[in-house]
A and B are shown apart, each in its own frame.
Chain A
Amino acid sequence: MSLVHWYLLIAAALWGIGCYGLIRGPELLRRIIALNLMGAAVFLVMVTLSARTEPADGVLHALVLTGLVVAVSATAFALALVARTLSEPT
């Protein structure tokens, strides 16, 4: 098994763990962390795919960077929402 396959396998495992955590819940924080795991899996796939060629594919690296920015803002938004849920019991 080559290194690329190994990393893709790890990414699939991360994705699976993330999906499980997201569906099982029920704590919001756990779900948000699960989403971040899924995001990490996607970024790992991208970095692995870009490493197949020599030199590495720069487009995928740019995508990972953009994806990280999106993931950070989305996580911040979700955490702000959780903070509001906790401060205002319905």
Chain B
Amino acid sequence: MSFALAAVLVPLFAAVLALCWRRQAAWLVWLSTLFSLLLAVAALWQVVTAGPATMQLGGWQTGLAIRWQLNELSALLLLMTALIHSLVASYSLSQWRDAGLSADFWPLSALLQAALSSLFLSVDLFNWYVTLELLGLAAVALVLLSGKKALQAAMRYLLLSLAASLCYLLGVALLYGHYGWLDVPQLAVAISEQPVDHRLALWLITAGLMLKAALWPLHIWLPDAHAAAPAPVSALLSALVVKGPLFMLYMIWSQLAGPELAVTGSWLFLLTGSMALLAGGWSALRTPYAKVMVAYSTVAQLGYGLLALGLILQLHDPALTQALFLFVLAHALAKTSTFLAVGGNAAAVGW
């Protein structure tokens, strides 16, 4: 657990230091991503050798404490976050002066990494809300690095992201009102013992998360925002930021939905997933701009994630869960390289 904790704290401190020493920010954040990559590998190794671990932040008793859980899944996602961040930081370090990337990129990207890592580690509904907000604010600020042309897209992204967070928060408040737990494992126990009708809460949470993850039909903000951002930022947004809410959707639906509700939800996910594949692919084919095309491809690819989630809820096959997260990993790597390649091309031809 200590390695995982350090993998969150290192980028957080790097973000603060990078704000203070703006001249050294690039090197500092680059080193911090490499260091947190090592820490994430160590955390994964710890899980493989010593098994999963949990931690109650602040040493409070269960119910008050925010629980952090390090298991195979969260360690893998932590490693993915650190790996993508170190790849993007290496690219930006070699390119940022030529590409006209603002120095503000460095502290913001480190903050993004800290927020995302703590999202993947926590299993607490309210802590998820806080990390979601951190993630959203850092992401909007990163989109704004493009300057004037990104203002409108960033504004829309911010408003929708805040509305989505509030939707999620209302769902969390109702869920807490029903059961009195914020801790996901305890909540799952309470729901299986004494289920009450918590459909409204779950649908509110789902609507908020689907808007955050840009899942069809709530993806309208994504192509503009991702295409307007500088190339390294688009890579981070498409590869990582949309995966946070997707992970939460998986955790919440697989643990907190009763058997009947899970079947209803699975049909929704299967339907919207297929529609995302068709609509996203069609829009990607029709657009003349390279970055918008890659952004629409993210919309389409997330459809696969939704399809897998729907199938998990219907068939309860552990192999499907593995498939979902292997897909998340593969998509993160592919999308990072695509966006960085588009950015490199654009820089080479002076577009």
Contact = CB atoms under 8 A, between A and B. Distances in A.
Interface residues on B, range: 20 to 34
Majority-rule SS of B interface residues = helix
Contact of A70 (B130, B149, B159, B173): B130
Contact of A63 (B140, B154, B158, B173): B173
A15 B174 CA distance: 14
Interface stretch (B107-115, B162-170, B295-303): B162-170
Contacts of B126: 63, 66
Interface residues of A, number: 31
A82 B156 CA distance: 11
B169 A42 contact: yes
A89 to B, nearest CB: 9
Contacts of B152: 85, 90
Interface string B138-157: 00110010001101101100
Contact of B163 (A38, A52, A81, A88): A38
Contact of B64 (A31, A42, A59): A59
B170 A42 contact: yes
A35 B151 contact: no
B137 interface: yes
A90 B151 contact: yes
B137 A45 contact: no
Interface string A67-90: 100100110011001101100101
A46 B173 contact: yes
Contact of B170 (A15, A28, A60, A70): A15
Contacts of B182: 59
B170 A45 contact: yes
Interface of B: 63-64, 126, 129-130, 133, 137, 140-141, 144, 148-149, 151-152, 154-155, 158-159, 162-163, 165-166, 169-170, 173-174, 176-177, 180, 182
Given A63-B176, A78-B159, 5 more contacts: A38-B166, A57-B180, A60-B173, A73-B137, A77-B141
